[in-house]
Amino acid sequence: MTHPRLAEAVLGWDTLNWQRALEFWDQHLPRRLTDWTALELGAAGGGLSLYLALKGARAIYSNLRLPDAQVCQLHQDYGVKMLYDTVDARALPYADQSLDLVCCKSVLGGIRKNAQEDPKPLIINEIRRVLKPGGWFLAAENLQGHPLHGWLRQRYVPWSGGWEYLPANDWLALLKDFTDCHQTSFGLTGLLGRTVAQRRQLAQLDRCLDAYMPSHWHYVLALVARKPETEGVES
């Protein structure tokens, strides 16, 4: 995932920082996902479903609405076959133990929207239900990060008031029933960039700084987790 045009298609923005989530996933996944059925939740622009299809998976784009013509054209431009589905992540319309992989990017932090009841545990349970034993869950989410990140979001991100920017430990707690969990975090100055060129330059700086800064200052978290091999269908 090193070609800039492809990274832009898959990730949308701040690509050099968020691309590190793909690199992290690739370190853990098989190189090819042939014969896998893989679902992207909250697909929106369809970037991760494109990523999965290019790795050989039978990819499913899922969202509350079907994709627009631009998303379909993107998939056609890369010559991949795609299944499109409308789903509510709280009640996934798939059989128990039917999927090899489920993934999402910048989705779980935005689903609560200040509601009293937190839907994330229910969604995680649904993901675990539909995964085959040993199946994979991949996520990339926005972290709480440094106080400066919070200020920038309030100032420049109109929808940030309804978003949950959680610390890494809160995300890991949601995966308590998974096994073989791995995480990495990154990104310090990338949010300061107001243009694509600025964000690219700052992301390059981040790659140098990350190892020397506290991880709780990072603003992106990438996760890999697997459903236990011995877990059966839940009653």
Instruction: Evaluate whether residue 36 is within a structural domain.
Output: yes
Instruction: Evaluate whether residue 90 is within a structural domain.
Output: yes
Per the structure, the count of domains in the chain is 1
Q: Domain limits at 174?
A: 4-226
Neighbours of 24 (CB within 10 A): 20
Q: What is the pLDDT of residues 71-106, one digit of tens each?
A: 999 999 999 999 999 999 999 999 999 999 999 999
pTM over 0.85: yes
pLDDT confidence of 108, banded at 50, 70, 90? Answer: very high
Instruction: Evaluate whether residue 215 is within a structural domain.
Output: yes
Instruction: Evaluate whether residue 65 is within a structural domain.
Output: yes
Instruction: Evaluate whether residue 235 is within a structural domain.
Output: no
Counting Cβ atoms within 10 Å, is residue 195 exposed (0-12), middle (13-18) or buried (19+)? Answer: exposed
**Collapsing DSSP states into helix, strand and coil, what is residue 56?**
coil
